[in-house]
Amino acid sequence: MAEQLGSGARALGIVAPLAELVWALADLERRLTLGLSVALSEENTTMDQWRILEALDRLDSPTMGELAEVSGMANASLSRTVDSLEDSASAFRLPTATDRRRITVHLSDRGRQRLARIREIVSAWGQTIEHRLGADAVTALVEAAGTAARALEDTPRKP
């Protein structure tokens, strides 16, 4: 499987190991995202909506800025996603009591029910992927990705 994932990079003449890793991870992410997107469509939910519902469940009345930071989404995309969650009565926004200009986002009861159904879908999808890859491979991938993400957390970025 590693050869398949890195084959796009090699076909383009990219032979540096880290460059091949970037290509392989991008291909893996694309394949996983596509499969999960199809699964989430059962609940008429997008990946971004699922991520925001999960964040709302884990955070205590986050502001839009906090949601943007946690999700990594651009403000415009985040606003559209929260708008769609409001339209489906899954979430709602409220101004804070201390500063009415600051808006917090909350998970509604309907949103909690929706998230429970989504988690069942995600769990079933995850079991399918684990069956195809093997539990050891999934564990190794998750651990390696987490280790790499933590190690690169403070990597300087170009302004």
pLDDT given for residue 159 in this prediction = 53
Q: Model's pTM, two decimal places?
A: 0.80
Q: Which residue has the tokens 């998970």?
A: 107
Cβ-based neighbours of 159, under 8 Å, separated by 6 or more: none
pLDDT at res. 60: 85
Residue 157: the pLDDT is 60
What is the b/e burial string over 135-154, where b = at least 16 CB atoms within 10 angstroms of the residue's CB? Answer: eeeeeeeeeeeeeeeeeeee
Residue 124 contacts by C-beta under 8 Å, 6 or more apart in sequence?
39
Per-residue confidence (pLDDT) for residue 113, from 0 to 100: 98
**pLDDT tens, position by position, for the chain (159 residues)?**
444 545 565 555 656 778 888 888 999 999 999 999 999 999 999 999 999 999 999 998 999 999 999 999 999 999 999 999 999 999 999 998 888 888 999 999 999 999 999 999 999 999 999 999 999 999 999 999 999 888 888 766 655
Query: What pLDDT score was predicted for residue 13?
Result: 60
Looking at domain 31-151, its CATH class is mainly alpha
* pLDDT given at position 2: 45
The residue behind tokens 């409001």 is 86
Confidence (pLDDT) at 69: 93
Nearest CA among 39, 10, 33, 32 for reference residue 22: 10
Q: What digits encode the pLDDT tens for the residues 107-132?
A: 999 999 999 999 999 999 999 999 99
Please give the pLDDT value at position 125: 97
